[in-house]
């Protein structure tokens, strides 16, 4: 794992990350939809992003292929909230929240037959995957340092196939690759040389749909031919689920096993709180209150932990204040607004916000609006098997949706 950077300003970090991939100001500007002059001003420190350009800065982090921790660092240096608030900080495997799930994930992947392909699906604000450094450390422990590959597809939606596959080939240590065929041949040669190779594909959904499908096809083909050697962990959200389910038996990833990032438990939250406040972490009753109010939504958990630092002895009144505070979280409003602005979707959203349950949970949600609510992390699944139901994560989130509807003209 890399050495932590000291506290640095936005312009310094932006320059550092641009130099790392040799990105030009014009290249960044074209990709995120701003002028080259604006990007140069940011990089030179003559101006800083405003609240209106927050989405552009987030697009910039994707284009620069930043990790979740680096994304958070750049956003907070610009005065914005972290996009992936609950992330590991280099702690040991034993000290990691979700350690039990990560153990089970690798056990199942190692036992998978005949195809060792797992799709790890996570909702918004968890990262793709969450605790990536911990997952990679566990992979190196199980497979060996030299047998672990990490692919992060380029963000650019304008990448040609040769640029896309050339970039991911370099991440794997393959030189001279300029096509999908050459990438497939290089990866196959690696499989023929080594006994087992673990490959983590993080943020699978970056790039164009056509390039994602080509990459999925290559990985599926190699897994079928070298199932015992290639162990794949593909991480993403809605678009990755589409590749699994939407075309039935013709889906490119229909042979893959699906794992969903688990819900946050009180034990996980206790570990997170102690990592952030070693000397003054909230007690279990306070953490349980926060877990209930937030519904386990990572952005609300982080917001709540910060808020609680200023109110170390919460009572009933402070619980109400925290509820009001969390219901104004920008990530909730950003998720609800697309459905609140159109008359048809607005009416259906209003009806759904009247109740706590939204119907039976299924492996794939055919309703596009429910899919949006689920992958935006506003909904969760409660119950098991035939009794599993889609529910609002918490009353705070449901009330936030009602507030958004009230603020938008009918």
CATH of segment(s) 10-77: 1.10.260.40
317's tokens: 């009144």
**Token pair 């897994």 is at which residue?**
223
Instruction: Please tell me the predicted confidence (pLDDT) of residue 276.
Output: 80
pLDDT for 66 equals: 84
Q: For residue 139, what is the enclosing H or E element?
A: helix 132-143
Report the distance separating Cα 310 and Cα 9, nearest Å. Answer: 26
Kind plus residue range of the DSSP H or E element containing 106: helix 99-111
- pTM for the model stands at 0.79
pLDDT score of 252: 73
Separation between Cα atoms, residue 301 and residue 176, nearest integer Å: 45
Separation between Cα atoms, residue 126 and residue 374, nearest integer Å: 13
Helix 238-245 with 209-225: angle, nearest 10 deg? 60
Architecture of domain 330-407: Orthogonal Bundle (1.10)
Render each residue's pLDDT in the chain as its tens digit; 410 residues.
Answer: 333 333 358 988 999 889 888 889 998 999 888 999 999 999 988 899 998 898 899 989 988 888 777 888 899 889 888 888 766 554 555 678 898 999 999 999 888 878 889 999 999 999 878 888 899 999 998 888 889 999 999 887 666 888 889 999 999 999 999 899 999 999 999 998 877 899 999 988 888 888 988 998 899 899 888 878 899 999 999 989 988 888 766 577 888 899 999 999 999 999 989 888 777 888 899 999 999 999 999 999 999 998 988 775 556 678 888 999 999 999 999 999 999 888 788 899 999 998 878 889 999 999 999 999 999 999 999 998 889 999 999 999 999 999 999 988 76
Task: With CA atoms as reference, report the closest residue to 93 among 271, 270, 276, 263.
Answer: 271
For domain 98-260, give the CATH number: 3.40.50.300
Instruction: Report helix angle 330-340 to 395-407, nearest 10.
Output: 50
So what's the pLDDT on residue 188? 93
């Amino acid at each position: 794992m890399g050495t932590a950077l000291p506290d640095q300003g936005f312009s310094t970090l932006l320059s550092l990350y641009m130099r790392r991939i040799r990105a030009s100001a014009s290249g960044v500007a074209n990709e995120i939809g701003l002028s080259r002059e604006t990007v140069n001003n940011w990089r030179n420190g003559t101006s800083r992003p405003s609240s209106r350009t927050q989405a552009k800065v987030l697009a910039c982090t994707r284009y620069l292929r930043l990790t979740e921790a680096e994304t958070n660092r750049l956003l907070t240096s610009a005065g914005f909230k972290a996009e992936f608030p609950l992330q590991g900080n280099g702690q040991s495997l034993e000290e990691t929240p979700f350690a039990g799930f990560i153990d089970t994930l690798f056990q199942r992947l190692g036992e998978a037959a005949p195809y060792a392909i797992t799709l790890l699906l996570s909702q918004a604000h968890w990262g793709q995957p969450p605790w990536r450094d911990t997952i990679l450390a566990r992979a190196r422990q199980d497979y060996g340092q030299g047998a672990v590959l990490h692919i992060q597809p380029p963000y650019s939606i304008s990448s040609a196939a040769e640029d896309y596959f050339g970039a991911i080939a370099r991440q794997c240590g393959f030189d001279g690759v300029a096509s999908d065929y050459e990438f497939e041949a290089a990866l196959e040669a690696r499989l023929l040389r080594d006994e087992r190779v673990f490959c983590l594909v993080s943020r699978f959904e970056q790039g164009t749909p056509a390039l994602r499908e080509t990459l999925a096809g290559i990985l599926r083909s190699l897994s079928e031919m070298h199932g015992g050697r290639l162990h794949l962990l593909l991480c993403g959200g809605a678009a990755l689920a589409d590749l699994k389910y939407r075309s039935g038996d013709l889906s490119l990833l229909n042979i893959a096993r699906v794992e969903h990032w688990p819900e946050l438990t009180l034990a996980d939250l206790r570990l997170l709180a102690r990592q952030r406040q070693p000397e003054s972490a909230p007690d279990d009753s306070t953490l349980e209150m926060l877990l209930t109010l937030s519904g386990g939504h990572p952005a609300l958990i982080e917001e709540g932990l910060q808020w609680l630092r200023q109110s170390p002895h919460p009572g009933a009144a402070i619980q109400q204040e925290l509820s009001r505070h969390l219901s104004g979280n920008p990530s909730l409003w950003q998720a609800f607004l697309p459905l609140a602005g159109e008359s048809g979707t607005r009416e259906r959203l209003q009806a759904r916000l009247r109740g706590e349950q939204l119907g039976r949970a299924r492996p794939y949600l055919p309703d596009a609006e429910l899919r949006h609510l689920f992958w935006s992390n506003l909904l969760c699944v409660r119950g098991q098997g035939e009794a599993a139901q889609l529910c609002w994560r918490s009353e705070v989130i449901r009330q936030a949706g009602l507030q958004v509807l009230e603020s938008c003209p009918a």
